[in-house]
Amino acid sequence: MQKKELKESVTAQKNRRGFNRVLHAFGYSIAGLKAGWYETAFRQEALASCVLLPASFWLGRSWVETVLLAGTVLLVMIVELLNTGIETAIDRIGPEWHDLSKRAKDMGSAAVLLSLLLCGATWGMALYQRFGQ
C-alpha cells in the first residue's frame, strides 16, 4: 500500500493539467531556490546579483547591453543551481569515491567556472567601454 501511495505522489505532477500544474510547478521551483540558498556559493552569487542586476540597468547603454549584463549574472546562478543538483544526485548515490562521480562533479564545477568567466568578461568589457575610453 505504501509503495502505491509513493508512486502516486511521484507522478501526481504529471497528472495535473492547466493552471493547477503551473501553480504546483511554481511551488517546486520556489522550493528549489530555497534549497539552493543553503549552498554557500549560490547564496554569494544571489547576494552579488542584488547589486549587479540593478547596476546592469545603469551601466547598459541599450536594452541589448542591459540584457547581456543581467543575463550573464542570472546565467551564473542558473548554472550554480544545476551544478548543485548534479552534486546532490551524485551524493545520494553513495559516499564512496568513483571516477564517474568525480567526473560529473568536476564538469559541473567547470560549467560554473565558464559561466563566471563569461560574466566577468562581459562586465569587464562594459565597464571598459563606459569608463576606459
Which active-site residues does the annotation give? Answer: 80
Count CB-CB contacts under 10 A for residue 20.
11
Rg (CA), the chain: 19
Name the DSSP class of 16: -
* Angstrom distance (rounded) from CA 119 to CA 75: 8
Cell 550573464, residue? Answer: 72
- DSSP for 7-62 reads HHHHHHHHH--HHHHHHHHHHHHHHHHHHHHTSHHHHHHHHHHHHHHHHHHHH-SS
